[in-house]
Structure 1
Amino acid sequence: MSFSSSFRKSSCLSRRFSGSRSLAKTAALATVSPTVNQSEISSSSSSSSQPTPPAEAEEEGQSWSTMLPELLGEIMERVEASEDRWPQRQNVVTCACVCKKWREAMREIVRASSPGSGKITFPSCLKQPGPSDFPNHCIIKRCKKNSTFYLFLSLTPSFTDKGKFLLAARRYRHGAHIEYIISLDADDLSQSSNAYVGKLSSDFLGTNFTIYDSQPPHSGAKPSSSRTSRRFASKRIIPQVPAGNFEVGKVSYKFNLLKSRGPRRMVCSVKCPLPEERADKHLDDSKAKIAEGAAPGLAILKNKAPRWHEHLQCWCLNFHGRVTVASVKNFQLAATVDPSQPGGKGDEEKVLLQFGKVGDDTFTMDYRSPLSPYLAFAICLTSFGTKLACE
């Protein structure tokens, strides 16, 4: 099941509404009262999983929605604090699905605890910066048969475990150009889909890429004027939120003037999101709002130059065990000083994004603030494909 299925399919949500209440009740009971006997929790969960008559379900929903705000806040805070990693983090999402009051309470608690933590809870978190103190570890799986790429959040150190699904992308060729459509749904990879979150577009040579976001990165942002963007905007589902393709970054691969086989050189300029800028719009689309006047910061990233290893006869970078197969696709990006930005700072030793091969169709992606999972995934997608003039 995709990352956003609980939010996009209202019919599915209504069918599981009673089950969500039961799971949320069990999670809250276990969190607030840790001394409760596990058999009591199991019996409560099993009994509540049975079909509930409509009248009783309505009465139960009213009782949960009328809970005292202080008690509700205490429950939500404990659930959010205890379930900080997937798959246990699913209990936080379940609590947000119980009713409108629970959704608003959990949204505020997650928003208050998320800045700087890099936690991924709701789909909107995929557009928020990663952690600043340590990188988030992810896995990218490639399916050559249908040119599809899947991004997973790593839950274990193993490279073979898929982990938590986050995003999917499919490569399409439009004449001499290539586009990657990025979606929340692994089974629905079209630009007209509700799960569409953005795209990556290349030039004729495949050396220059533009990253687009389906939602405006800040107030006043103007969408691309391409014909595809206009066609997509006419199909938008939420009229309160402008839909289209908004440019949020560029990736360029430099030409190899010496024509000698060697590592690629790349430069990225991305509009990194500000914390809390997209305050969980997917939780309540009817009240979706965009931060007023908050423009994202511009980050300039360059790949770290590898060194030549005489004994191994190859170019090497220290990936700290996260990359095991030598490949021209492997890279590490660090921030540089932007001359056009007064007082701009850069730390060329601090790796903000690294990408590398660990199997035939398996790659690692480790990112940190100010990059979001979406921007990091889009940058890594540019590494796929042959670039004869750059190698």
Structure 2
Amino acid sequence: PPKGAESEEETPETLQKNSNKKGKAKKSKKQQKEERPPSPVIEVDNLEEFVLQPAPQGVTVKCRVTRDKKGMDRGLYPTYYLHLDNDKKVFLLAGRKRKKSKTSNYLISIDPTDLSRGGENFIGKLRSNLMGTRFTVFDNGANPDRANADWSNVRQELSAVVYETNVLGFKGPRKMTVIIPGMNADCERVPIRPRNDNDGLLMRWQNRNMDNVIELHNKAPVWNDETQSYVLNFHGRVTHASVKNFQIVHSSDPDYIVMQFGRVADDAFTMDYNYPLCAVQAFAIALSSFDGKLACE
């Protein structure tokens, strides 16, 4: 077929890959804009600082998550990569499930080639409970058992995620609760450094001790008779229906999307986040959603 006809058929994913490399025809650029508006211009000078800093207010940081199932482990331990979804495709984070761990345990790194616990690029981790229904996200500080005398190096909890067993049986979206530290007057995250598990975000939430803690939920999708599926409006950022697609909101303002995540291809997803989330929090929340345990599938 002639070139023109071919580009009509192209999916947003192929355009996404091809349209910026060699100054391709303008048409595909325009198509791409209609399909998935790219991220606003975001400068990443210091990667480590950027991924822990809340998104600037009023700016949606638009990212893309890719899943790499290649390698020896045949998809059991894929590596996930997070890039800015813009022309430059700036790399932000990589995450991988640890193998010898009783519970699901993901390491998050600012170096795509170094996903080891001891590596200096280790920036955070995601840990689940035995059931795989509750997750906690830590920065790279020390375990309280191995803390300095003044606790200055103790790890912070950046987020927690709770999945509720699905009332509708196995089909349909799961209910998610996301718990994050509150923000201070300067729009900075309040450090939460629990000295033991009873003082962490999950216990504070469970005991309704919500000082300096923010509770978010996934937006309930609406059943659509025409498509016979649950739908959320992702404004063109998500192209494949999936029970794993979600949007996170605060109950007082359900129209303000704090984070959204959804599939655009078999192993590609968009992940967009807003203030007060940072990249590590959002990426870890996305990783928790991949962890599909039967307890809440």
Q: TM-score, normalised by structure 1?
A: 0.54
Is 1:136 the counterpart of 2:61? The answer is yes
Map 1:278-293 to 2 at 5 A.
none
**Could you say which residue in structure 1 is the equivalent of 2:247?**
332
Is 1:250 the counterpart of 2:160? The answer is yes
Alignment CA distance shift 1:260-1:200 (3 Å): closer
Is 1:300 the counterpart of 2:208? The answer is no
Q: Which protein has the bigger helix share?
A: 1
Shift of 1:175: 4.5
**Could you say which residue in structure 2 is the equivalent of 1:155?**
86
Aligned CA RMSD, in angstroms, stands at 2.7
Deviations 1:326-375 (A, max 9, x none): 11110000013xxxxxxxxx312211100000011111010010111111
Map 1:209-248 to 2 at 5 A.
209-215=135-141, 224-225=143-144, 230=146, 242-248=152-158
Shift of 1:277: 5.2
Distance 2:137 2:151 in 1: 20
Amino acid at match of 1:136: V
Alignment CA distance shift 1:181-1:244 (3 Å): farther
Question: Does structure 1 retain, via aligned residues, the 8 Å contact 2:134–2:160?
Answer: yes
Distance 1:381 1:258 in 2: 23
Structure with bigger RCO (C-alpha 8 Å, 6+ apart): 2
**Could you say which residue in structure 2 is the equivalent of 1:204?**
130
Secondary structure (helix, strand or coil) at the match of 2:104 reads strand
Map 1:362-373 to 2 at 5 A.
362-373=268-279
Question: Does structure 1 retain, via aligned residues, the 8 Å contact 2:144–2:154?
Answer: no
Q: Structure 2: which 5+ residue stretches go unaligned?
A: 1-39, 71-76, 190-210
**Could you say which residue in structure 2 is the equivalent of 1:262?**
172
- List, as ranges, runs of 4+ consecutive aligned residues in structure 1 with deviation greater than 4 Å: 272-278
User: What is the percent sequence identity of the aligned residues?
Assistant: 41
Q: Which protein has the bigger strand share?
A: 2
Q: Whose radius of gyration is greater, 1 or 2?
A: 1
Q: TM-score, normalised by structure 2?
A: 0.70
Shift of 1:126: 1.4
**Could you say which residue in structure 1 is the equivalent of 2:44?**
120
Shift of 1:172: 1.2
Distance 1:121 1:273 in 2: 23
Shift of 1:243: 3.8
Q: Structure 1: which 5+ residue stretches go unaligned?
A: 1-83, 87-118, 157-161, 216-222, 235-239, 279-295, 337-345
2:253 is aligned, of 320, 326, 347, to 347
Shift of 1:264: 0.9
Deviations 1:11-37 (A, max 9, x none): xxxxxxxxxxxxxxxxxxxxxxxxxxx
Distance 1:154 1:262 in 2: 28
